[in-house]
Structure 1
Amino acid sequence: MLKVAAYIAEKGFLPKELVQNEVQWFYTNLGIDDMYFMLEPVDTIANHIMALYGAKIFAFTKNESVLDINLERETDSSAVYIHTSRPGVSTTTGPQVERRIDAKYLDAANAATGAFRLETYRSLGTVSSSMATQLRCYFVEKCNFVKPDPTPEEATDIRLVADKAFLEKATEHTLEVYENIMRQVLQRTGPVIELFEVEGSREKRIVIGYRQQSTRHFFSAMSDLYHYYDLFSTRKYVEQFANGVTIMSLYLNPIPNSKAPPIESSIFQIMKEASLIFCLPTTPLQTFFQTGKLSVQEAIYGYVAWIFSQHFLNRLGGEYATLTNLLDGANSAHVEVLTKIKKRLRSDTFTREYILEIIKLYPDLVKALYINFAMTHYVGQKESSIRPSLSYQRIRTDHVLTDAQLLALIKKTVSNAHEQMVFESFLTFNQHVLKTNFYQPTKVALSFRLDPSFLPAIEYPLKPYGLFLVVGAEFRGFHVRFADVARGGIRMVRSRNAEAYSINLRSLFDENHALASAQHHKNKELPEGGSKGTILLDLASQDKSRVAFEKYVDAMLDLLIAGQTPGIKEKIVDRYGKPEILFFGPDEGTADFMDWASQHARQRGASFWKAFTTGKSQSLGGIPHDIYGMTTRSVHQYVLGTLKKLNIKEEDCTKMQTGGPDGDLCSNEIKISKDKTVGIVDGSGVLYDPVGIDRVELTRLATERKMINHFDVKKLSPQGFRVLYVEEVQTIIESNAAAEFEAIWAEAERTGVPKAIISDLLSSAVVKLSDELQTTTLWDNKALRKIVLEEALPKLLQKQLGLDTILSRVPESYTRAIFGAYLASRFIYKYGTSPSQFAFFTFMNPYFARIGQ
């Protein structure tokens, strides 16, 4: 403290007679946690005291009684934030410190690559005797685990997987609590939430454990949640563990003189709603929740109904139906026009942004529609309950409207037909939800079993048997089936950019419906009908396919397995009234997840876990289709059938095969076929023998799953050959890359421009020159053209076919492009982006000399 006072006095910004008083107040009266003074150097503490004094002077000149303090310091391994904090109030403007900490440190926590722990405290005192402003301090530190890479046996021992600083400060009671929660997290998919009393006070401690990277913005969203119930925190902790577990601890108190329900009631509501926050920590309706206009349940309901509206709002109208009847469905031109009109009507009339704008105009309608939803699906209080939950009390005290009354209220409230259609789609959603996990105590994503009867026949003439909607923090997804017993794959839908995401989103359900319908027809000979599931990853979650799949499966199981564990998985309202079983299979992006899904269903107690997924490992009872050639055998029957009809013996038939003996389908085709295979093209080259490729050698490659570059050429007839063009292509790629590197390095040395910029300039120059060269008279010079193309094209290709044959087979536009790109790249790489006016003449001289010009 003395060093800090000396530092401030030396700087001279504070009057000398006030230095000691300001330093003393900062250290003792303000009530900042001791950890701050342990972590921060003298100059940082002094600067913060001077900043605080300056803020008080500024507030005095503005005649303000409240300070606005925002101090921060960030390094690679730690961060400190100090800012003004009103108890129990979420800030929607300004620095948004907690959201920043979420995004920068907590959301990306990964025990293997780096994780940060957090401690935050509210100051016990005020910034001065004349101002009631309190501060909140946040301390972020990079974790230093005892065992950074624990074995499975070590992973459940908190003293081995915890951060060293945490172990130094934690009490035996805290270690016991955390270890118990940590072990539960390792056994579950979702969060573990527990409540503890703080002896001698009304303060409550909520401890939440969950897997790292299984949610986003959760820390800041929990603050919004307890603020909604007029609670504030004195201290909060987020601890990371080397086994991939995160544990958050919140110490909560009621705001003095608040009219809110007692903390003894609201704390249980927070525990119930924490699982909702975990599923969807942030939504576009978050500000309505932060400002108290909507509860967390109402805001998340509004978000889900918004998603439903995006996909199912009936936007075609009666005019489209009339037009459909007038046009000929068998006429392809008419069908194409109808399809384009349908896409335009569904995407342009009601964009997701437009629907959201409408929803935000009428939060009171969202409230009324939520009550309608809740009255059906909220499970009533058990007789053994000590007191009704706050949400149950709200439902019972609010006036509940019938569907007809809700329709009348919607018409009375909104301003136009579009707004009416949006909120009528909310009511459609309510009417067709048969069961949901919305009110399950623990969950990782929200799932809804829908009655598909709302789907308009004009758009979906083939009505699904069952329809599920699943919404998670990283994705949205559907599952459609056309029979009670049905099987089909689960497809992961990724998007390269924002435009691709918008296209994928608009077509998600239509594609899912079409895929399920196609699967239903494929399964015509099987006892199982067809189904399909889709998972559309949010644009910011393209790397979260595994997380999204696990949440999708777990949320679906919530609706398939009756809950029997109070406080974890309880019984839900089931308007469907019959048991359901779904069967999943691998599809794009999910083939590696089938083992997990089967085992997770087993862990959840599903009686059907063995049959829950196809495509799983043999050790789990799966039949690997690639090993046993299931697809190949099916297709091969068509070949045999065709040959039989034409009276041709398979042994006499010659075959050219695209795809080598290393692949699933083609290796099995080689094993089961008896034809005379004369040619194979794969990733390594071309194998050809007009008398038939040696079947024994070919079978060896198929068994070992090797490309034709491993074929023993001694087994070829005199007329046979093998062309391995991969090595030459690799040489060309390496040569181009080396030339570009030298050009970038030379240009950077010459100009001082950053190499990344040089790379773009070189590329632009090559493209521009290539386009110009393709249209100049140089192309018309046949002798020059021949020399350039001989250099540019792979030598093996020319050796086997000859240049003239290549030119006769390849379109001129393509050979022009080869000509231009080859000359342009070599010239730019040699002379740079700013060559002299004579450079190109010098570059072309050797070519003209070779053709005698």
Structure 2
Amino acid sequence: MSDSPQNGGLPSHPKPAADSGAGTPTGFQRPLNKQLDSVVRTPGRQPSPQPTHLGIPGGTHRVLAEQGPGYVAAKFEGKEAQMVAVSEQLENNGFIPYEFVASETNWFYNLLGIDDMYFQTETVEVIASHILSLYAAKVAAYARDDKRLEIRLDKEAEDHAVYIDTSRPGVTTTDGPRYEQRIDEKYINGATATDSFRVETFRSSSPLPDNSEQQLRCYFVYKCQFANPNPDPEETNIEIVGDKLFLQKATENTKAIYQELLINAVARSGPVIKMFEIEGSREKRLVIAYRQGSAMGFFSALSDLYHYYRLTSSRKYLENFSNGITIISLYLRPTPGYENSSRHPPIEAAVHQILKEISLLYCIPQNKFQGHFISGRLSLQETIYAHCVWVFVQQFLNRLGSEYTSLAAILDSNNSAHAELLSKLKKRLRSETFTSDYILEIIQKYPDLIHRLYLNFANTHYVQTRGEAQDDFLPTLSYLRLQVDEVLNAEQLKDLVSKTVVSENDRMVMQSFLTFNAAVLKTNFYTPTKVALSFRLSADFLPKHEYPDPLYGMFIIISSEFRGFHLRFRDIARGGIRIVKSRDKEAYAINARSLFDENYNLANTQQRKNKDIPEGGAKGVLLLDVNHQDKVAVAFHKYIDSILDLLLPPASPGIKDPIVDLHGQDEILFMGPDENSAPLVNWATEHARKRGAPWWKSFFTGKSPKLGGIPHDRFAMTTLSVRENVEGIYRKMGIDQTKVRMFQTGGPDGDLGSNGILLGKEQYVAIVDGSGVLADPNGLDREELTRLARSRKMICEYDVSKLSKDGYRVLCDDSNVTLPSGEVVNNGTAFRNTYHLRPGNYDIFVPCGGRPESINLNNVSSLIVDGKSVVPFIVEGANLFVTQDSKIRLEKAGCVIYKDASSNKGGVTSSSLEVLASLSFDDAGFTEHMCVAKDGTPPPFYDAYVREVQETIKRNARLEFEAIWRENERTGVPRSVLSDTLSVAITQLDEELQKSELWDNIPLRKATLKDALPKLLIEKIGLETLLERVSSFFWRLICHLNVANHSLFRFPTTTSDPSSAATLPAASCMNTAPTPASLPSSTCKFKPQTCNISACIDRMLISSIAWASVCQRRRSRLSRSQHGTAEGRGPTPPPPFWINVPRPYKKKNLDVFFFHFSLPFNDPPVPPCHSLSRPNRN
């Protein structure tokens, strides 16, 4: 066969292709019932440089000239001698009549087409037993009424396995041994580069003796013996990474095909799919390459897919390679008897559809409605659609009901008994009314409704695509179904559901499909290649009483390894990506029920803690499936890639198809590290770059310094803000931290846990982490803790010989452990999970890890004895560890609490300033000044910038700590409430300022930005250049936020820390009417070089945050002084630099009013008139 591409051959050395992410061949045809004008196409955004990795009809076909299987048949020289030995063995056994031994042996050896490798591998005894089993099956069939022959043979050894059974071609059977599922589970799903198997399977061509439609199917599994078992992960040379037996048996043509797919598969994260014609035959060869462990159950699910279209495989091969790539080769042909069926598509159309659906199958190989697919009742698209809605319904079915809302309105939320009752009722309703199994059971009952509901979804989002060649265009079966079947609108479907279902619960579940359909704004469901399913949703369907703060953006992502969300409260928002693991099925069920609520609350907390940065709050949470707890990297890769599918525009023809975009606006997400995702952010950054994202440098923060990142854990960014709050308490209470007894959740293996140990000087008395509990009332050995923290090891590595006689360590796997006190611990996991609720002899509790709501209204009473909190101080490093209502109860009982939104905001500050640097430099400057060299040498600018970021974090944390402490002492309002009040006030004030004319005043704009931006960036790049390089929208956010923060944070400080006093300019908003002399004259010009911009901003625009009545009086005095009220006098023009703020601004009794602006540099401070609560009117 020639290697010329013109005749369908392969080049001898295929060229590598860049990562494709989810790129596909494209160009599209507008369906007759579809409006695609809303598909977003953004000029100037370059398509991602991705390879065409999906061959479809309409493209350039490659025709394989060879008729054989693509493998050279092994030649076993001792076959004849072995056959004689087997016959003798059978004769000696005596179970087969002598006159049948020769014929049965000959049939097995020569007529079934079994590969010589089998005979070379197996012993005479094993082969004889297999022949005997086949003969016994024939005898059993003769005794059956239907005379049907059933053969079930299987032999599993350590390094190989053989399975032989009878089955009808083109039909998936749900009874019987299901050997393909067995092979998936035992040999393929858990494959690694060092422990993997190859599979050969074929169907016999000769008929079975019972004259039925059945044929013999044989599977041979062999352990791989690689030429190089430990190659570089990027190695693609097939001679290096291939199995020795494969390299021996594969033809040159097969090696060339596999070589090309290897190159593309290594370069991307999703499957690579190719289709080849077989010369002189209708048989098609599909070859699929994908990463090991990324699609559990994929091998057997492929059979379900082509069986649905009445195709069967004559041969199948699965090859693993030592670089972590798996390749499957299928030889497909029409099932006998269905070659010209009018009810099923011809093989050409069927293969086209299979090519489209393989990546859909790859996303969820075994969905919850697979039975309907196998039976032919529903298509693959319909079952996976139902699976996705099943996941959706579990989170959003309104399980509380109107009755709960009415009850909540009647009861007093300030009454602890009422609040606890509501909390328990809410938890029970959410966990027991509609379980995942119950929802699944309901949906399973209505396959016809699923079909109708799916058509409604498809009619909105399906886009028919063309191949590269127009004359060979084949419409997909999905497109044809939309032309034939009636598509009902939402009202018609609602009526159909009501008429079809048999109960109110069934109606609620099935009508949730309509909620889902209406909420989806765009999806990658119909993108021909993808790694997980992603949906951009409108959040309008969320009930306001459960989720009072509206979301701006909402993504749901689903694959077989995980389900997850990404939520944000502003268009430009940032937050980390958390990967949640579950220890067992019970923990998984709990985590699954609360997944969205956890994500929403985390994003809301992020919104509150982002008060110091221009970005709003966001968060992403992935919950690993209970059977995929080891798939952290796989799940993260799929999560990121599928979100990018919806963020990046359609690429050039031949690479990625357009999607229907009902949102109609470009979106950018800013992400960062969180629980279990920190080691993966480098990959995400590089992947965004390979996908062609223009914002790849700022997509993820906390990445490696070699990529220009500032890792939070390495530089203790989050811990710095936590420590400022911890040390602030010590400072206010006059406590020597070396005498403090500390309890911490989150061990020395984590970011906060390890850096907390390294930065503090307290005496640790207990630490709880993922491995168990470590406690010593006499104090844990600090040197040993430091060793663990520096090496990032869990407490299970602690040297127990350094415990005192009263100390102990209880690991999760321990049971029946007797503590020094005599207490017996029956279950180590249960002990670990509730240890934080045990009253202990410690002074401060710092949660640095643990699940959200670990302390809630149902258990907080464990920490309150005789009305007093047994915990003096809590600084919440872990997000949402203590629920808000529990915080308030603890504060009322005397505990000093600084909540997460105030205490652990250092990470987001670091991330925001990291992004600012990446946006500010051009590519060359970014590499020179922000990227650490390969030898680990940081640029001087990088070191200095990190130090400036650290100082900014500490300064911001100190400002907020002081403001909350002062207001709590003055008003008695709980600190947890003040934290939220402060966050909301800054956010609302910032939003109001965005409506003002502040940005239009150019001198003021520049002066404000000079005050807000890192000094190093201004010195290195220059303000004018910065303004040119970064979107003005971003600068507006920074400018307005800086003004808002000046108003609410920069109070006169009374701290004993002199360094703090030097860095906090006094607030100086005017609380008395200005005199004419103090007003700017008509010739006054703002001179940034001679003015204290901090003081100017405080006086210029932002009001005091105070009650409306007080501010109204002051505004009236200001107005009279400025404009005059004498009869006949018109108002005088406002002085230069007067900024008009919309007024009156009354939200939650807050008011914003006018202030004049330009004040001299040394102007003495004027006492502030603003506060966070009602001032004394006298």
The CA deviation at 1:645 is 8.4
Report what 2:274 is aligned to: 194
Per-residue CA deviation, residues 784-811 of structure 1 (Å, 9 max, x unaligned), is: xxxxxxxxxxxxxxxxxxxxxxxxxxx9
Q: Matched residue pairs, number?
A: 716
Relative to its length, the structure with more helix (as a share) is: 1
Match for residue 236 of structure 1 among 311, 316, 327: 316
Q: How does 1:640-679 map to 2 (within 5 A)?
A: 656=740, 658=742
Report what 1:554 is aligned to: 641
Report what 2:226 is aligned to: 145
Match for residue 189 of structure 2 among 62, 86, 107: 107
The CA deviation at 1:15 is 2.2
Per-residue CA deviation, residues 559-610 of structure 1 (Å, 9 max, x unaligned), is: 1112315565322111100011111111111111111111111111111111
8 Å CA contact retained: 2:810, 2:817: no
Question: Structure 2: 5+ residue runs without aligned partners?
Answer: 1-82, 768-773, 792-797, 825-864, 866-1178
Question: What letter matches 2:422 in structure 1?
Answer: L
1:591 aligns with 2:654: no
Report what 1:16 is aligned to: 98
* Alpha carbons of structure 1 residues 358 and 659: separation in structure 2 relative to 1, 3 Å: closer
* Alpha carbons of structure 1 residues 226 and 636: separation in structure 2 relative to 1, 3 Å: closer
For the residue of structure 1 that corresponds to 2:313, the secondary structure is strand
Question: RCO higher in 1 or 2 (8 Å CA, sep ≥ 6)?
Answer: 2
Question: What letter matches 2:404 in structure 1?
Answer: Y
The CA deviation at 1:318 is 2.1
Report what 2:518 is aligned to: 431
Question: What letter matches 2:182 in structure 1?
Answer: R
Greater alpha carbon shift after TM alignment, 655-664 vs 629-638: 655-664
Distance 2:483 2:566 in 1: 34
The CA deviation at 1:206 is 0.3
Per-residue CA deviation, residues 700-759 of structure 1 (Å, 9 max, x unaligned), is: x9999879xxxxxxxxxxxxxxxx99644399999999xxxxxxxxxxxxxxxxxxxxx9
* Alpha carbons of structure 1 residues 703 and 212: separation in structure 2 relative to 1, 3 Å: closer
Distance 2:636 2:525 in 1: 19
Report what 2:548 is aligned to: 461
For the residue of structure 1 that corresponds to 2:264, the secondary structure is helix
Report what 1:36 is aligned to: 118
Match for residue 298 of structure 1 among 370, 373, 382: 382
Distance 1:22 1:447 in 2: 55
8 Å CA contact retained: 1:25, 1:128: no
Q: How does 1:58-207 map to 2 (within 5 A)?
A: 58-112=140-194, 114-128=195-209, 130=211, 132-151=213-232, 155-207=235-287
Greater alpha carbon shift after TM alignment, 209-218 vs 678-687: 678-687
The CA deviation at 1:64 is 2.2
* Alpha carbons of structure 1 residues 371 and 730: separation in structure 2 relative to 1, 3 Å: farther
8 Å CA contact retained: 1:358, 1:422: yes
1:369 aligns with 2:445: no
Question: What letter matches 1:73 in structure 2?
Answer: K
* Alpha carbons of structure 1 residues 706 and 488: separation in structure 2 relative to 1, 3 Å: closer
Report what 2:506 is aligned to: 419
Match for residue 615 of structure 1 among 702, 727, 738: 702
The CA deviation at 1:21 is 2.4
Distance 1:471 1:149 in 2: 33
Question: What letter matches 1:156 in structure 2?
Answer: T
For the residue of structure 1 that corresponds to 2:336, the secondary structure is coil
Distance 1:166 1:653 in 2: 66
The CA deviation at 1:481 is 0.7
* Alpha carbons of structure 1 residues 315 and 141: separation in structure 2 relative to 1, 3 Å: same
Question: What letter matches 2:137 in structure 1?
Answer: A
Q: How does 1:403-418 map to 2 (within 5 A)?
A: 403-418=490-505
Question: What letter matches 2:569 in structure 1?
Answer: F
TM-score w.r.t. length of structure 2 = 0.57
Distance 2:245 2:754 in 1: 56
Distance 1:679 1:32 in 2: 71
Distance 1:39 1:324 in 2: 72
8 Å CA contact retained: 1:30, 1:127: no
Question: What letter matches 1:547 in structure 2?
Answer: V
For the residue of structure 2 that corresponds to 1:407, the secondary structure is helix
8 Å CA contact retained: 1:33, 1:123: no
Report what 1:331 is aligned to: 415
Distance 1:508 1:601 in 2: 26
Distance 1:499 1:378 in 2: 38
* Alpha carbons of structure 1 residues 121 and 592: separation in structure 2 relative to 1, 3 Å: same
* Alpha carbons of structure 1 residues 679 and 357: separation in structure 2 relative to 1, 3 Å: closer
Report what 1:822 is aligned to: none
The CA deviation at 1:331 is 3.4
* Alpha carbons of structure 1 residues 408 and 555: separation in structure 2 relative to 1, 3 Å: same
The CA deviation at 1:121 is 0.7
For the residue of structure 1 that corresponds to 2:521, the secondary structure is strand
Q: Percent identity?
A: 52
Distance 2:352 2:90 in 1: 48
Match for residue 297 of structure 2 among 200, 217, 222: 217
Match for residue 605 of structure 2 among 480, 504, 518: 518
* Alpha carbons of structure 1 residues 48 and 131: separation in structure 2 relative to 1, 3 Å: farther
Question: What letter matches 1:729 in structure 2?
Answer: L
Distance 2:336 2:764 in 1: 81
Distance 1:326 1:604 in 2: 54
The CA deviation at 1:657 is 7.6
Report what 1:446 is aligned to: 533
The CA deviation at 1:280 is 0.4
For the residue of structure 2 that corresponds to 1:81, the secondary structure is strand
Report what 2:487 is aligned to: 400
Question: What letter matches 1:121 in structure 2?
Answer: F
1:602 aligns with 2:689: yes
The CA deviation at 1:199 is 1.3
Question: Structure 1: 5+ residue runs without aligned partners?
Answer: 689-697, 708-723, 738-758, 773-810, 812-853
For the residue of structure 2 that corresponds to 1:399, the secondary structure is coil
Q: How does 1:336-375 map to 2 (within 5 A)?
A: 336-375=420-459
The CA deviation at 1:365 is 0.5
The CA deviation at 1:184 is 0.5
* Alpha carbons of structure 1 residues 171 and 409: separation in structure 2 relative to 1, 3 Å: same
Q: How does 1:717-756 map to 2 (within 5 A)?
A: 727-729=801-803
8 Å CA contact retained: 1:32, 1:122: no
Per-residue CA deviation, residues 437-458 of structure 1 (Å, 9 max, x unaligned), is: 1111111111111100000111
Distance 1:457 1:686 in 2: 47
Question: What letter matches 1:9 in structure 2?
Answer: E
Distance 2:345 2:88 in 1: 50
The CA deviation at 1:325 is 2.4
The CA deviation at 1:189 is 0.6
Question: What letter matches 2:197 in structure 1?
Answer: F
For the residue of structure 1 that corresponds to 2:312, the secondary structure is strand
8 Å CA contact retained: 2:466, 2:473: no
Per-residue CA deviation, residues 206-232 of structure 1 (Å, 9 max, x unaligned), is: 000001111101000000000000000
* Alpha carbons of structure 1 residues 84 and 659: separation in structure 2 relative to 1, 3 Å: same
Distance 2:229 2:742 in 1: 48
Question: What letter matches 2:219 in structure 1?
Answer: Y
* Alpha carbons of structure 1 residues 407 and 72: separation in structure 2 relative to 1, 3 Å: same
The CA deviation at 1:333 is 3.1
For the residue of structure 1 that corresponds to 2:228, the secondary structure is coil
Question: What letter matches 2:300 in structure 1?
Answer: S
* Alpha carbons of structure 1 residues 53 and 518: separation in structure 2 relative to 1, 3 Å: same
Report what 1:740 is aligned to: none
For the residue of structure 2 that corresponds to 1:301, the secondary structure is helix
1:275 aligns with 2:359: yes
* Alpha carbons of structure 1 residues 666 and 68: separation in structure 2 relative to 1, 3 Å: closer
8 Å CA contact retained: 1:440, 1:568: no
Report what 1:574 is aligned to: 661
The CA deviation at 1:320 is 2.1
Report what 1:835 is aligned to: none
Distance 1:459 1:465 in 2: 16
Distance 2:679 2:581 in 1: 16
* Alpha carbons of structure 1 residues 354 and 288: separation in structure 2 relative to 1, 3 Å: same
